[in-house]
Chains A and B, each alone.
Chain A
Amino acid sequence: MAVINDLRLLKNSAWLGWQMEANWTDPFLFATYSIVKPIAGTLILVFMYLVITGGETANDFFSYMYVGNALYMFVAEVLFGVTWVIHDDREHYMTLKHVYMAPMNFYVYILGRSAIKIAITSFGVLVTLAFGVLALGVGINLGAVDWLLLAPSLVVGLLCICILGLAMGGVSFLTAKHSIGINEGLAGVFYVMSGVVFPITILPSWAQTISKFLPVTYWMEVVRRAVVPEAMDGLAASSGYDVTGMGDMSDLTLMVLLLVSAGVFFVMSIGVFRVADNIARKKGKVDWTTAY
């Protein structure tokens, strides 16, 4: 019975999320909006690359960087989406206290609201990748994609990001209107430390040590190996050294490391959320508004 209730809640909160995300405009404008943002974000990096290299995009490093940047949308947008749910319900619609009072599983509600964010972001990622392949020569060969590696790594990675977003949502209970900064900041930490657009081997050694504790580092590597295996092989061969710092690890080892690090972050994130939630209730911050 509880499972059926949770599934119904998941469906309804996902529907609510869709309405809140999309019904402010007509579908065409919403689709345009969903495409323009990620493409523009990607073009920043593309132009940075073009300015330095003088226009050469059909190489392995460009594919490595481009695919990493496209996948990073999941980190940035989903992390932002989950935390924003809590901020928006609390400060804007002022409905968070009603959500708390309702006889339902709060985590399932958040997951449902986030699911729609994942769906919208997936659309953006696909459009960005298609743009890369068609316009910039990014080396994605659908026949070479390792789907068996891609599917489980995507599921584990996205769940991990959702739970991290929940922890940040908990932190935002205790702060003023800094939810945007929290999300973008944490996403920025992953951007630098997880080798999203450059290999982690360029970082100082202390930063590389931190990188190897982050699930996003392994997630990026696994998904890149699944999506652009030829570019990853080519990058390793042309560099002449272990440029990613994980070249000697098998796919299985990487998946295990991803699962372990995601598991640790899962437990930590739930802990952070519960502590923050407890403090927020004690201090009366669950229905706090801080718009100054």
Chain B
Amino acid sequence: MSESPLKSNLRAIRGRAYPRLIGSTREPSWFFFDVVLPLFTIAGYAYVYRFLEADAEFIGYVVLGGAMTAFWLNILWSMASQLYWEKEIGNLSLYLMAPTSRMSILAGMAVGGLVETTIQATATVVVGVIAFDVIFSLGSPVTLIVVFAVTMIALYGMGMMFASLYLLLGREAYHLSSLMMEPVYFATGFYFPVRSLGFWAAAGASIIPITLGLDAMRQLIFPVGADDAFLSVNTEIAVLCVLCVVFMVLARYALRYMEHLGKTTGRLTLRWQ
């Protein structure tokens, strides 16, 4: 008896999320290396603002931005690069043979990674509150949840699209991910209001969902956040919704196209290029 496509895709999501969730419990050292140690860099930026005698909310911006870096790193190293790594270790051909959507496999990676990354981000916020007396003023929790949700959907959609683009890359994949760290931290305003880059630069950076998501979250969390805002929260939610659709559709097409291209050029199982 054949299984319905919906059921098999849901099983694929669960199956791909499983090793990520179980892997993290079997190797608890990740908590120290991926949660505790990165807090130091964030503390470094917070101390810069403190030395410059900046207003308290700037330290809050750093803490929130630092928390969101976890999601960006997860996108780069555990979503975008993942199909490339799967190719390198020989799993990719198994995925391609499986009678399920590639999107489901990527969604499984996203779900598994999102749990671990949310723990990282939460720890950053908690430590920020304790160590730097950051005060959050949550006026509209429902709007905040909506902003976070659409940001994550758009972001992981972008990660899925990148994953397909990375599929045909060799060692460029690692370098591309590496290249999208500091420049993106800068362009999206992880540690300062993105508005200070100027309208057109900030508008260009808005193609990365975290830019608008972070800007909206700052407005919703900090009392004076609106003073440093790039766009209004409602406008940012609307743009993020558009990005959700665009990235999901592009991911689907890119994945099909790259798979076809990979098959015809014989590069899908090529390793160590």
Asked if A223 lies at the interface with its beta carbon under 8 angstroms from chain B, I say no
B19 to chain A, nearest CB (A): 4
Show 14 residue pairs from A and B whose CB-CB distance is below 8 angstroms, ordered by the A residue. Answer: A25-B175, A40-B182, A41-B186, A43-B186, A52-B58, A181-B34, A182-B33, A182-B37, A184-B38, A188-B39, A197-B44, A202-B47, A203-B47, A289-B89
Binds B, one of A9-17, A142-150, A172-180: A172-180
Name the CB-closest residue of B to A93: B272
Interface residues as binary, B32-56 with A (CB distance below 8 Å gives 1, 0 otherwise): 0110111111111101111111100
Interface residues of A (CB under 8 A from B): 20, 24-25, 33, 36-38, 40-41, 43-45, 47-53, 65, 92-93, 174-176, 178, 180-182, 184-189, 191-193, 196-199, 202-203, 289-292
Known: A291-B89, A292-B19. A51 touches B36 (CB 8 A): no
Docked complex Cα distance between A38 and B51 (Å): 23
Chain B residues closer than 8 Å to A182, beta-carbon distance:
33, 37
Chain B residues closer than 8 Å to A43, beta-carbon distance:
186
Chain B residues closer than 8 Å to A198, beta-carbon distance:
44, 47-48, 50-51
Interface centre among A53, A175, A180, by most chain B C-beta atoms within 10 angstroms, is A180
Name the CB-closest residue of B to A25: B172
A168 to chain B, nearest CB (A): 10
A134 to chain B, nearest CB (A): 19
Q: Which of A37, A184, A192, A203 contacts B183 (CB 8 A)?
A: A37
Q: Which of A24, A37, A40 contacts B171 (CB 8 A)?
A: A24
Give how many B residues have a beta carbon under 8 Å from the other chain's beta carbons: 52
Name the CB-closest residue of A to B187: A40
B246 to chain A, nearest CB (A): 25
By DSSP majority rule, is chain A's interface helix, strand, loop, or mixed?
helix
Asked if B29 lies at the interface with its beta carbon under 8 angstroms from chain A, I say yes
Interface residues as binary, B70-81 with A (CB distance below 8 Å gives 1, 0 otherwise): 000100010000
Q: Which of B30, B43, B191 contacts A48 (CB 8 A)?
A: B191
Known: A36-B183, A189-B37. A49 touches B52 (CB 8 A): yes
Docked complex Cα distance between A155 and B180 (Å): 31
B196 and A50 form a contact (CB under 8 A): yes
Chain B residues closer than 8 Å to A181, beta-carbon distance:
30, 33-34, 37-38
A59 to chain B, nearest CB (A): 12
Docked complex Cα distance between A185 and B32 (Å): 9
In the complex, besides A47-B196, A92-B88, A292-B19, 5 extra interface pairs with C-beta distance below 8 angstroms are: A25-B175, A44-B192, A176-B29, A178-B27, A290-B23
Q: Which of A37, A197, A289 contacts B179 (CB 8 A)?
A: A37
Docked complex Cα distance between A197 and B48 (Å): 7
A188 and B192 form a contact (CB under 8 A): no
Asked if B170 lies at the interface with its beta carbon under 8 angstroms from chain A, I say yes
Docked complex Cα distance between A40 and B181 (Å): 9
Q: Which of A20, A52, A290 contacts B54 (CB 8 A)?
A: A52
Name the CB-closest residue of A to B120: A181
Name the CB-closest residue of A to B30: A178
The 10 closest A-B pairs by CB, nearest first: A185-B37, A188-B40, A188-B41, A181-B33, A40-B183, A41-B182, A292-B23, A178-B33, A176-B27, A198-B51
Docked complex Cα distance between A175 and B162 (Å): 27
B50 and A175 form a contact (CB under 8 A): no
Name the CB-closest residue of A to B273: A24
Name the CB-closest residue of B to A80: B178
B196 and A51 form a contact (CB under 8 A): yes
Docked complex Cα distance between A176 and B116 (Å): 14
